[in-house]
């Protein structure tokens, strides 16, 4: 597949989002008065995947080791700007009001950060004329070829990896110990802005200044409850002595559950 791309500046990608942020970006977003949430998911981790499994390597790089009862897991936490309708930084003329400081993910779109997600123009918000032949080459033979975007994606993955310990600190500081089962959904945590800003600023100091990933052996970051809206998943967790927690439709005061699909009996 070959894809050419030129942004039409239609701003369709600037609406109704949970926008993943780095810790510095989240501090800036909150400081501008925006809303930031934490999304958590956990995957059972019974052994290390082979290096050629790029999808598993991506998950491992952006998650920290933990446990749920007897089950070893890895927990991934996304710090995300959240907004319904237009982004609070979108100007009436569709320009970005923080263009020089816009988040990394805004610079990468419409490309994919996750190496296991295949790039598909039809899954993107961009209008048909953004993909007109003859504009800049984005993908050739199915591979991303735009050098600037490739460098941004590499930077994003590197920051994801070095911020893992900071996210573990952040969860501990905020008393967060629930995560959805990976691929079923996310647990969405919405701490008040002041507490979150303080916790982010404290967590920031656990990020290595040289942005290198620690070579130290990993420690386990707490005992987590795995939340699901599927009774079969909760029963499967109980069978391996993990802490499963069923979540129904009733509102919960300490978190929300964002399901990727229908609940099952
Ligand atoms: S920060 Fe700018 S580029 Fe990113 S979603 Fe908001 S308006 Fe769009
Ligand atoms: S939806 Fe696509 S074409 Fe429109 S502003 Fe976003 S990146 Fe550009």
Interatomic CA distance for residues 226 and 184, integer angstroms: 11
Starting from the CA of residue 99, give the closest ligand: 1
* pLDDT reported for residue 209: 65
Would residue 265 count as lying in a domain? no
43, 37, 18: which is closest to 179 by C-alpha? 43
Interatomic CA distance for residues 7 and 42, integer angstroms: 35
150, 186, 202: which is closest to 78 by C-alpha? 186
Query: Domain of 93?
Result: 3-208+218-259
* pLDDT reported for residue 195: 96
Mean pLDDT of 35-54: 92
Q: What is the DSSP letter of 113?
A: S
Residue 143's H or E segment, with its range, is strand 143-144
Would residue 213 count as lying in a domain? no
Position of tokens 């959240």?
A: 82
Would residue 102 count as lying in a domain? yes
**Does residue 147 or residue 48 have the better pLDDT?**
147
* pLDDT reported for residue 55: 83
Interatomic CA distance for residues 48 and 212, integer angstroms: 21
Would residue 91 count as lying in a domain? yes
Q: Whats the size of the chain, residue-wise?
A: 265
**Does residue 36 or residue 248 have the better pLDDT?**
36
Mean pLDDT of 155-166: 94
- 153 falls in which pLDDT band (50, 70, 90)? very high
144, 89, 83: which is closest to 113 by C-alpha? 144
pLDDT for residue 263 is more than 70: no
d(CA 104, ligand 2 centre) in Å: 15
- 96 falls in which pLDDT band (50, 70, 90)? very high
Q: Is 160 exposed, middle or buried (0-12, 13-18, 19+ CB in 10 A)?
A: buried
Interatomic CA distance for residues 223 and 69, integer angstroms: 7
Starting from the CA of residue 28, give the closest ligand: 1
State percent of the chain over pLDDT 70: 95
Residue 87 in contact with ligand 1 by CB distance below 6 A: yes
Report the atom number in ligand 1 closest to the C-alpha of 88. Answer: 6
Residue 258 phi/psi, 5-degree rounding, is -110, 105
Radius of gyration for the alpha carbons in the chain, expressed in angstroms and rounded: 19
pLDDT for residue 265 is more than 50: no
Domain count along the chain = 1
């Amino acid at each position: 597949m070959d894809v050419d791309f030129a942004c039409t500046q239609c701003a369709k990608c600037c609406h109704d989002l949970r926008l993943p942020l780095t810790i510095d970006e989240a501090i800036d977003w909150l400081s501008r008065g925006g809303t930031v949430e934490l999304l958590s998911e956990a995957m059972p981790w019974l052994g290390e995947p082979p290096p050629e499994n790029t999808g598993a390597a991506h998950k491992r790089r952006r998650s920290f080791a933990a446990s749920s009862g007897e089950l070893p897991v890895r927990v991934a936490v996304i710090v995300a700007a959240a907004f319904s309708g237009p982004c609070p930084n979108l100007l009436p003329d569709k320009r970005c009001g923080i263009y020089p400081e816009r988040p990394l993910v805004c610079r990468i779109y419409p490309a994919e950060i996750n190496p296991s997600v295949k790039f598909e123009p039809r899954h993107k918000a961009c209008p048909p004329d953004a993909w007109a032949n003859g504009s800049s080459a984005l993908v050739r033979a199915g591979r991303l070829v735009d050098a600037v975007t490739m460098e941004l994606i590499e930077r994003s993955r590197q920051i994801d990896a070095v911020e893992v310990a900071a996210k573990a600190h952040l969860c501990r500081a905020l008393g967060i110990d629930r995560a959805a089962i990976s691929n079923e959904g996310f647990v969405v945590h919405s701490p008040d802005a002041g507490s979150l800003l303080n916790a982010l600023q404290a967590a920031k100091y656990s990020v290595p200044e040289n942005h290198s990933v620690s070579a130290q052996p990993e420690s386990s970051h707490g005992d987590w409850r795995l939340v699901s809206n599927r009774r079969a998943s909760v029963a499967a967790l109980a069978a391996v002595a993990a802490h499963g927690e069923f979540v129904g439709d009733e509102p919960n005061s300490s978190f929300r559950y964002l399901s990727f699909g229908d609940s099952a009996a």
